[in-house]
Structure 1
């Protein structure tokens, strides 16, 4: 079979093509101006490619017809793809890829708008970030919600995009290599945030694995891609994917956040920068008066 067959989308989506293409063009343009190492470039392209494969290829048929394949898809959309994109720290390259006039006229005013700043402050709050990251997994795996989402193509796409966007926000927050400020969270808090996301994933994965009844009958109703795999075995594999690889991605994220913390500490970039008084200030005058 021609390998290109698998790149043919099961359900074409202009939104996916445009979003991936815009990100690719901006990064390709911007990396020439921003200093992006080869390792970071590979990380970005791998993450972006993983998102495309999980959203817009023939594999989408299997994602819709097997529970464990669906869990593999969300592992890529929520963990793997956003993780490697955030690990590349591509913000400077993406900004540099936008024409300067557009940045001045559209991007900067949009980011400075009060509603945008309030929204970012809310979703980037550590408690909210962990709640959203874990809560979306729980929400879309509620049996009634999951049943409807797998039957309604519009809700199905909302589900997938919500996982991508939330994954990007979470890993961008956790894997930020800078001190705070300019980063939103101090390095120690970034480690705690990602560790806090591990136990709920383990609990849900274990629950799905050990449940003795079929939780997601929609796959049996609509027809399974792999007829040789029993519904319970399919469900158990899906639970394991959430339980082990999903949790391990968070452990790796915690280790990288810890590494950033140790690196910043070794360079003494965690200490607050002392204010330098201007010569001849009022305080100096008082001391010498």
Structure 2
């Protein structure tokens, strides 16, 4: 028990992380009692939320700051796995139901209908911008000078981590939305194209990091490495592989789920049209038909 508490003890305490996770968990737990949320969706949400908390606010953060491959593992969770599982759970209805009705009426709906909110969502959910942000943030934070500063300044380090979480949630929400368009932002077929477009840049960057023959991120050697038995180049190669293979595979899985939604929605649309066609062509059996 003491060992578990040791690992759960945050390396750098952050009230923001605690409040954000608690609010999300409480709203979902409250709303799931009123909205219809399946067991699989509940499991996906809680696994995703717990994964984000572990990657942001436990003793593991020490290793994330002192080994490049551990840092890449952290961002794999923050940008891919955690947001992916939360988006897969489709938590929107449950989160809204968890907010008191009066708060929704007075604050949430007016805020969502403001011009600023509409413009913001139109921008971030634009497919070209969504892919550019998703891949661009990975590239930006892995630029050697930027990465050097982010790992030294705890404020910039937290901005980096939160930017990955928020962007991951927005991107995977766009891709894994099970609804047709509208109300979803993108048609199912376009979601597949968007997530596939994010795969090649991740492969290229991961391969570049893996095959580069010199140390790209000396900050870990300067500040001291958590695992002295791993050489700097081996650490860099493993980090490149984590971006190259698991990161790209998450996008492939996202494309397959988007394809499944596309097939399901197409089948539903065909069934609905068939029913409408049959209803329109049904013979008249009422009193007028008998009298004629």
Same fold (TM over 0.5): yes
Partner residue, 2:56:
55
1:119 lines up with 2:154 in the alignment? no
Partner residue, 1:240:
241
Partner residue, 1:177:
178
Q: Between Structure 1 and Structure 2, how many residues are aligned?
A: 273
Contact 1:82/1:171 (<8 A) preserved = yes
Partner residue, 1:285:
none
Q: CA deviation at 1:2?
A: 1.5
Partner residue, 2:187:
186
Alignment of 1:35-74 (within 5 A): 35-74=36-75
Partner SS for 2:269: coil
CA distance in 2, matches of 1:20, 1:186: 31
Deviations 1:231-283 (A, max 9, x none): 000000000000000000000000000000001111117999x9xxxxxxxxx
Alignment of 1:102-141 (within 5 A): 102-141=103-142
Partner residue, 1:227:
228
Change (3 A) 1:255 1:270: farther
CA distance in 1, matches of 2:121, 2:237: 37
CA distance in 2, matches of 1:214, 1:113: 48
Q: Structure 1 segments of 4 or more deviating over 6 A?
A: 269-272
Contact 1:179/1:269 (<8 A) preserved = no
| TM-score, L = length of structure 2 | 0.92
CA distance in 1, matches of 2:200, 2:67: 25
CA distance in 2, matches of 1:140, 1:159: 7
Long gaps (5+) in structure 2: 277-292
Deviations 1:134-169 (A, max 9, x none): 000000000000000000000000000000000000
Kindly report the root-mean-square deviation, in angstroms, between the aligned alpha carbons of the 2 structures.
1.3
| TM-score, L = length of structure 1 | 0.93
CA distance in 1, matches of 2:270, 2:130: 25
Q: CA deviation at 1:172?
A: 0.1
CA distance in 1, matches of 2:164, 2:147: 14
Partner residue, 2:279:
none
Contact 1:264/1:270 (<8 A) preserved = no
